[in-house]
Each structure stands twice: as structure tokens, then as C-alpha cells.
Amino acid sequence: MSKLFYRSKTDATTVYYQIKNSHILRVLPRKVSQEVLRMVLKVWQSYYSAYREDKAFPSKFKVRPKNLNYQSSAGDRSNGRYVVIYHHQALSQKALKKGLIRPSKTNIYLKIRVKKS
């Protein structure tokens, strides 16, 4: 996805329509993939803003803004990690009533403590 940003300044709608049929977006629930896309776009926009500011006023920065990287385990770029935000509507309501959180399209169960009022 970063290649899209390097080519030109891109807006959210353009990126979404270019990757909407990709495997990346189909694996996650729609609300989750939209949140991830929103976060990535925000990070890239911040990077471009800092990059433009550095070009215009180099004395404001001690170092140039670095290219964005995603965390990877053991240096494996194909296994990169990024924050995933599960909206409350993308959680199993049945599991929530039992005191568990279960993100949609997963078999992950997390115990929670909720004070009943």
C-alpha cells in the first residue's frame, strides 16, 4: 500500500477503491479494515506534512523525517504488524454477555471484568 503514497499524494477514497478487492480488506471485517485504512492515511498525511515542512524550513528539524516502516517480527517484511481497531459493533455480542470479548472473524476470546450497575 505504501507504493500508492510514494507515487503521488493520494486521498482516502482513491486508496480505498484501489485496494477494496484486495485480500487485505477481505480478511478483516469491513468496519475494522476501514479503521485501519483511516489510521494509515492519517500517518501518511502527517509524514507528508512533516516532509514538506522540512523542505521549506530545514532549520526547524534536527533530522529529516524518515520513511514510514511497519513493525516486523525478526525482520520479515511480509509479516509486518500494525494496530487493528475493532469497533464495538465488530465484537460478538453473545460473547460480550458472557464476559468475553471475541473479535469478529476470529476464534480469540478475552476475559473482561465489567461492573454491573
9-36 burial: b if 16+ Cβ within 10 Å, else e: ebeeeebeeeeeeeeebeebbeebbbbb
Confidence check: pLDDT of 72 > 70: no
Q: Report how many domains make up the chain.
A: 2
Highest mean pLDDT of the ranges 10-14, 22-26, 36-40, 105-109: 105-109
Report pLDDT digits (tens) over 81-107. Answer: 667 788 888 888 888 888 888 988 888
Highest mean pLDDT of the ranges 9-13, 17-21, 76-80, 88-92: 88-92
Assess whether 2 and 35 both reside in one domain: yes
Q: Is the pTM of this model over 0.85?
A: no
Assess whether 34 and 59 both reside in one domain: yes
Assess whether 3 and 36 both reside in one domain: yes
Assess whether 55 and 100 both reside in one domain: no
Q: In this structure, how many other beta carbons lie within 10 angstroms of the beta carbon of residue 6?
A: 9
Q: Which domain holds residue 105?
A: 87-116
Please give the average per-residue pLDDT across 29-54, as a whole number: 84
Task: Please tell me the predicted confidence (pLDDT) of residue 76.
Answer: 57
Assess whether 2 and 59 both reside in one domain: yes
